[in-house]
Chains A and B, each alone.
Chain A
Amino acid sequence: MSLTTKDMSVVKALWGKISSKVDEIGAEALGRMLVVYPQTKTYFSHWADLSPGSAQVKKHGKTIMGAVSDAVSKIDDLPSALSQLSELHASKLRVDPANFKILAHNIIVVTAMLFPADFTPEVHVSLDKFLQNLAWCLAERYR
Chain B
Amino acid sequence: MVEWTEFERATIQDIFSKMDYESVGHNALTRCLVVYPWTQRYFAKFGNLYNAAAIAGNPLVAAHGAVVLRGLDKAVKNMDNIKAAYAELSVLHSEKLHVDPDNFRLLADCLTIVVAARLGSGFTPDVQAAFQKFLAVVISALTKQYH
Interface size class for chain B?
20 to 34
Secondary structure class of chain B's binding surface, majority of residues = helix
Among A110, A116, A122, contact of B52 (Cβ-Cβ < 8 Å): A122
Closest 3 CB pairs of A and B: A121-B34, A35-B125, A116-B117
Given contacts A109-B113, A121-B30, A124-B34, contact A36 B125 (CB under 8 A): yes
Interface residues of A (CB under 8 A from B): 31-32, 35-36, 52, 105, 108-110, 112-114, 116, 119-122, 124-125, 128
In the complex the two chains form, what is the Cα distance from A35 to B124 in whole Å?
A: 10
CA distance A72 to B77 in the complex (A): 44
In the complex formed, the residue of B with least CB distance to A120 is B52
- Further pairs besides A121-B35, A124-B35: 20, Cβ < 8 Å: A31-B125, A32-B128, A35-B125, A35-B128, A35-B129, A108-B113, A109-B113, A109-B116, A112-B113, A113-B116, A113-B119, A113-B120, A113-B121, A119-B117, A121-B30, A121-B55, A121-B56, A122-B34, A122-B52, A125-B34
Tell me whether A109 and B34 are in contact in the complex, defined as CB-CB below 8 angstroms, given that A119-B117, A121-B52, A124-B113 are known contacts.
no
Given the complex of chains A and B, what is the CA–CA distance between A17 and B128 in angstroms? 25
Q: Does B35 contact A116, Cβ atoms closer than 8 Å? A: no
**How distant is the Cα of A116 from the Cα of B123 in the complex, in angstroms?**
13
Provide the bound-state CA to CA distance between A122 and B51, in Å: 9
- Contacts of A36 on B, CB cut-off 8 Å? 125, 128-129, 132
Which residues from B are CB-within-8-Å of A121?
30-31, 34-35, 52, 55-56
Residues on B with beta carbons closer than 8 Å to the beta carbon of A105: 109
B126 CB–A CB distance under 8 Å: yes
A112 and B35 within 8 A (CB): no
Chain B neighbourhood of A124, CB < 8 A: 31, 34-35, 113
A63 CB to nearest chain B CB (Å): 20
Known: A32-B125, A32-B128. A112 touches B34 (CB 8 A): no
* Residues of A with C-beta under 8 A to B119: 113
Within B63-107, the residues touching A (CB, 8 Å) are none
Distance A105 CA – B106 CA, assembled complex (angstroms): 11
Report Cα–Cα, A119/B112, bound state, in Å. 14
- Contacting residues, chain A, for B56 (C-beta < 8 A): 121
19 pairs, A vs B, C-beta closer than 8 Å: A32-B125, A35-B128, A36-B128, A108-B113, A109-B112, A109-B113, A109-B123, A110-B116, A112-B116, A112-B117, A113-B116, A116-B117, A119-B117, A120-B52, A121-B35, A121-B55, A122-B52, A124-B34, A128-B35
Which residue of chain B is the closest to A127 with respect to CB atoms?
A: B35
